[in-house]
Amino acid sequence: MNRQVSHIGVAALVLLAALIVGTTYWQAWANAGLADRQDNEIRLVAQFSIKRGKIYAADGRTLLATNVKKKIGGQTLYFRRYPTGPLFADVVGYSTQSRNRTGLERSYNDFLTGSNANLDTVFRSTLDKLRGATVTGNDLVLTIRPGLQALSRRLLQGKCGAVVAMEPSTGRVLAMATNPTYNPNLIERHFAQATRTTEPCGAPLLNRATAGKYQPGSTFKMVTASAALDTGRFTPSSPFYDPGYCLEYGKQVRNAGNPEAPETFGSVDLSTGFEHSINSVFCNVGKTLGAATVLRYAERYGFYSLPPLETPENERVASGLYDHGVLFSPKHPDTQVDPGRLAFGQERLQVTPLQMAMIAATIANHGITMRPHLIERILSPGGKTVTHSKPERLGRPIKRQTADELTRMMELVVEGGTGTAAQIPGIRVAGKTGTAETGRANINTTWFAAFAPADAPKIAIAVVVENQAGGFGGTIAAPIAKQVMEALLR
Amino acid sequence: MFLIVVGALTAVGFASVYIARQDVISTASLTYAGFFFALYLAAHLVARYTVPFADPYLLPIAGLLTAIGLTEIYRLNPDDAFKQGIWIVAAVALFALALLLLRYDYRRLETYKYLFGLTAIALLLLPILPVLGLTVNGARLWVHVGSLRFQPGELAKIMLIIFLAGYMREKREVLAQGRPKDWGPLLVIWVLAMLVLLETRDLGGGLLYFGIFLAMLYVATGRIAYVAAGAGLFIIGSIGVWRITPHVQERVTIWIHPWTQHKVFCPLSGRMELRQDCQSFQLVKSLYSIAHGEYAGTGLGKGTFTTLDGHPIIPSLNTDFIYSALAQELGLIGAAALLLVYMIFVLRGMRIALLAQDGFSKLLAAGLTFGFALQTFIIVGGILRLIPLTGITLPFVSYGGSSVVANFLLLAGLLLVSNRANREMLR
């Protein structure tokens, strides 16, 4: 009988060994896959037992996200609290149980929960776990200046639109405000209230600065002018004759399409055409260059790819031509795209404020695009810097000379052209207005893209204000840009 | 000397736990530790007196497992831990009683084998009786007298093993020849047991008893053909049962496809839902719990078992699903260690069966040990999705009075066999 006993003994041990294998599979092999599942309540709740890292504005003092400790059923849980309320909502986002996460709370969840792969962090959180201490996440310090952000939001009050301001030489985002927005503190329990808005445009959860798609109007002339100068086909003094319209496919496209310019200018040069935003001039530039060349320069500025930023991908959209709501990349641009309308920013162009700010910043930075970023530093709970973001060069869309010529042309816009409302006494400002018709009578999307001081730029900015009845870029958006730039420079 | 081993093991099992949980639970926990230690010491002294030659590892291992279980139950629900404590006292008392009564010769039990067999059937039938029976989670496995609930199936298991050991010892030569006459009583009792289990929907129990039966039959006859035939019959029977019983079909579906991409009909709510939100809810949440433990676990007392508003995420966590709670808090290291403890218990049990001198003792020890291992496999394997999930307790660890009592009686049986075997060897 002993032989049989040994056999069933082995069988019993094999069964138990299979259990060890099974446990290993779930805990060491399949665990990551399970952790990502939407219905994994345990994982979701467990993250609330982590003391998430705090989020600070650029001054390192203004607290944007912190924790409230609550004891529930013997467990200590940490809930998010946003002391500045709606002010930074679009950038910081929220972290809740019922609505999950958005903004930096989502894309930097690994750092905020201390589960990133940084060796120091791994060591510390493992130690915390073993000691039974609360796991504490890393703190984030943003590049956004709280004063500038508050001013930007105040200037947008009662309007729908966005302000994006950057430091041209580094790509630091100095302000990123949008209106309407929401109070992240209300998301968990009062979602309906949080998403209600009195503004007529609605959609308060949309980050208009990075995911709002607008017709660029004449601000796109910065791209067309870049192509014109950079290809060497034109110079700022290239002569044009403006009859008040431009012939396209045998039809007249009237300057009246641009409400910022008078009907007819006669003999002008490219620089004057830019200064007064003359559509017929740019229409002819577009026809000469061809749509493919203009679009190639747009791509070099970052069109057709998601604008680089630390926020989640679904909170950013690419700029470019859109056909029925879908990004449209023409295979044969010279036949599929109207080069004249494209050149002055109509056709089917849709752009984000962030993209326009990047163009202004590139021109300001002598033709070099710096990667825009929101996070300045990541700190360990002890205050030690884990990572410090270094300015990163994204590319050089235009030559230095092109950038300098464009700067001069943009200065003229503010000195005596369509953008005089952006003048700051004692400081040279370079800018470009834009007014795009929405299709509804007399309702315009107004733009202003600018940087200052023109000789040593410290700030580049893009302002968009939607649905302005009878308003122009030069009258609605330019004064907002002026005040934000002035606040930083003074 | 083993008293020290025992003390150290129990102290390790407890101390670490209570230190981790100190911020939440006050000195009550230390009272538990002290109480448990005293109880354990008493059990040990009784064992020293009654079965001095018995295997020295089994009682400490059982003590350790009980301590782990009690600790986890305490962490999940202190009220349940108190009730479990009372059941452990009762179980240790019965354990002591069994050792005292049978310390000279447990083989007397063999004489009453038919009585045990029939009592086992009667016990299994009890829950079907209208007044006493009680249905919990779809299975009619409980009897209740007043507020006291008991699962007689657990005791029936021990009795059936005694019956099988007695009957097979007596008839093992003729069984091997395969005359129908000798198979009669065995099959009658066996078929009865299986029918009762089916009727009470105790699938885990059915699988367990059938496995024990085959294992003991193999030990008695040495004929692998019987095991193959039995397994074949079991598979045919299972397919038959699967085809006619919706309850069983559901279990299998949950096992194969716990997650669905599309909504399927949910019989619980009557609506279309994802299966992981409906029938396989418990299994899937339990897998999340295990996976969350990763290598090192969250630490005892630091696991997540409730939602933010305090509702439990996994139903019956401290009974059938205690393994997924332990696996989350102890991690792979702890869970593997726990399973290794079970393996040591099985090794010692099988060693007793090998050393035993007579057929009855061998069959009894082998049957009890194999039953212990198989029960562990059925519940943990079900939780780990190795086999379809059926509700059954994890020996010594799960919350449940009948389970604790039955497992301490099982331990008493092994110690008695071991005592006799070792005494005769020394002689």
* Predicted confidence (pLDDT) per residue in B116-168, tens digit: 988 888 888 787 776 666 666 666 666 766 556 678 888 889 998 999 999 88
Measured between beta carbons, the chain A residues lying within 8 angstroms of B309 are 72
List A218, A226, A380, A389, catalytic entry: A218
The model's confidence at residue A113, banded by pLDDT at 50, 70 and 90, is confident
Q: Parallel, antiparallel, or unpaired for β A63-72 and A393-395? A: unpaired
Instruction: Confirm if B205 and B392 have CB atoms less than 8 A apart.
Output: yes
Of A18, A23, A43, nearest to B292 by CB-CB distance is A43
pLDDT score, position B2: 57
Query: Mind telling me how many Å the CA of B182 is from chain A's nearest CA?
Result: 20
Q: Which amino acid is at A343?
A: A
The model's confidence at residue B5, banded by pLDDT at 50, 70 and 90, is low
Is the pLDDT at B14 greater than 80, yes or no?
A: no
The model's confidence at residue B96, banded by pLDDT at 50, 70 and 90, is very high
| List of residues 6+ apart from B218 with CB closer than 8 A | A4, A7, A8, B224, B226, B227
The model's confidence at residue A28, banded by pLDDT at 50, 70 and 90, is confident
- Whether chain A has a CB inside 8 Å of the CB on B299: the answer is yes
Is the pLDDT at A257 greater than 60, yes or no?
A: no
Q: Do B369 and A12 touch (CB under 8 A)?
A: yes
CA distance A24 to B122: 41
The region of weakest confidence among A303-307, A408-412, B146-150 is: B146-150
CA distance B117 to B112: 9
Measured between beta carbons, the chain A residues lying within 8 angstroms of B327 are 23, 26-27
> Which of A7, A26, A79 best probes binding to B when mutated, by most B CB atoms within 10 angstroms?
A26
pLDDT score, position B173: 80
Is the pLDDT at A227 greater than 90, yes or no?
A: yes
Q: Which amino acid is at B267?
A: P
Average pLDDT over residues B367-376: 96
Q: Label residue B282 exposed, middle or buried (CB < 10 Å: 0-12, 13-18, 19+).
A: buried
CA distance B358 to B416: 13
Compare A131 and A158 and report the one with higher pLDDT: A158
pLDDT score, position A116: 66
> Which of B65, B304, B306 best probes binding to A when mutated, by most A CB atoms within 10 angstroms?
B304
The model's confidence at residue A173, banded by pLDDT at 50, 70 and 90, is very high
CA geometry: angle A211, A212, A214, nearest 5 deg: 140
Which stretches of B102-223 are DSSP H helices? 113-125, 152-177, 180-199, 203-221
What rounded mean pLDDT belongs to chain B?
83
pLDDT score, position A451: 96
Query: Mind telling me how many Å the CA of B126 is from chain A's nearest CA?
Result: 31
* Residue found under tokens 């007579």: B358
Residues A353-405 pLDDT 10s: 999 999 999 999 999 999 999 999 999 888 888 889 999 999 999 999 999 99
pLDDT score, position B421: 92
Of B219, B313, B380, nearest to A8 by CB-CB distance is B219
What rounded mean pLDDT belongs to chain A?
88
Q: Which domains does chain A have, with CATH numbers?
A: 46-142 (3.90.1310.10), 146-185+197-374+395-489 (3.40.710.10)
Of A5, A16, A17, nearest to B366 by CB-CB distance is A5
Query: Mind telling me how many Å the CA of A317 is from chain B's nearest CA?
Result: 28
CA distance A270 to A237: 6
Considering chain A, what percentage of its residues have pLDDT values greater than 70? 93
CA distance A312 to A477: 28
Q: Do B313 and A75 touch (CB under 8 A)?
A: no
- Whether chain A has a CB inside 8 Å of the CB on B76: the answer is no
Of B308, B313, B362, nearest to A48 by CB-CB distance is B308
Integer angstrom CA distances of residue A102 from A92, A193, A205, A310: 8, 18, 10, 12
Per DSSP, A451 falls in state E
> Which of A6, A7, A27, A130 best probes binding to B when mutated, by most B CB atoms within 10 angstroms?
A27
Q: First and final CA of chain B: distance in angstroms?
A: 22
pLDDT score, position B195: 74
| List of residues 6+ apart from A476 with CB closer than 8 A | A159, A446, A465, A468
Instruction: Confirm if A198 and A152 have CB atoms less than 8 A apart.
Output: no
Does the annotation count A218 as an active-site position?
Answer: yes
- Whether chain A has a CB inside 8 Å of the CB on B79: the answer is no
The model's confidence at residue B307, banded by pLDDT at 50, 70 and 90, is confident
Q: First and final CA of chain A: distance in angstroms?
A: 97
Measured between beta carbons, the chain A residues lying within 8 angstroms of B298 are 46, 129
CA distance B23 to B28: 12
pLDDT score, position B389: 86
C-alpha dihedral sign at B195, B197, B201, B207 = negative
pLDDT score, position B147: 59
Is the pLDDT at A258 greater than 60, yes or no?
A: no
pLDDT score, position B419: 93
Residues B319-336 pLDDT 10s: 889 999 999 989 999 999
pLDDT score, position A82: 95
Q: Do B219 and A4 touch (CB under 8 A)?
A: yes
The model's confidence at residue B240, banded by pLDDT at 50, 70 and 90, is confident
Is the pLDDT at B346 greater than 80, yes or no?
A: yes
Q: Which amino acid is at A57?
A: A
Q: CB A133: neighbour CB atoms within 10 A?
A: 14
- Whether chain A has a CB inside 8 Å of the CB on B251: the answer is no
Query: Mind telling me how many Å the CA of A55 is from chain B's nearest CA?
Result: 23
Q: Do B313 and A41 touch (CB under 8 A)?
A: yes
The structure's pTM equals 0.71
Q: Do B370 and A75 touch (CB under 8 A)?
A: no
Query: Mind telling me how many Å the CA of A186 is from chain B's nearest CA?
Result: 17
Measured between beta carbons, the chain B residues lying within 8 angstroms of A188 are none
Q: Give the burial string for B283-313 (b: 16+ CB within 10 Å, else e).
A: bbbbbbbbbbbbeebbbbbbbbbbbbeeeeb
Instruction: Confirm if A346 and A339 have CB atoms less than 8 A apart.
Output: no
Compare B27 and A200 and report the one with higher pLDDT: A200
pLDDT score, position A443: 83
The region of weakest confidence among A171-180, A254-263, B121-130 is: A254-263
**What are the DSSP calls for A70-86, one per residue?**
EEETTEEEEEEE-TTGG
Tell me the residues of chain B between 339 and 358 that have a Cβ less than 8 Å away from chain A.
339-340, 342-343, 346-347, 350, 353-354
CB pairs A-B closer than 8 Å = 169
CA distance B302 to B289: 12
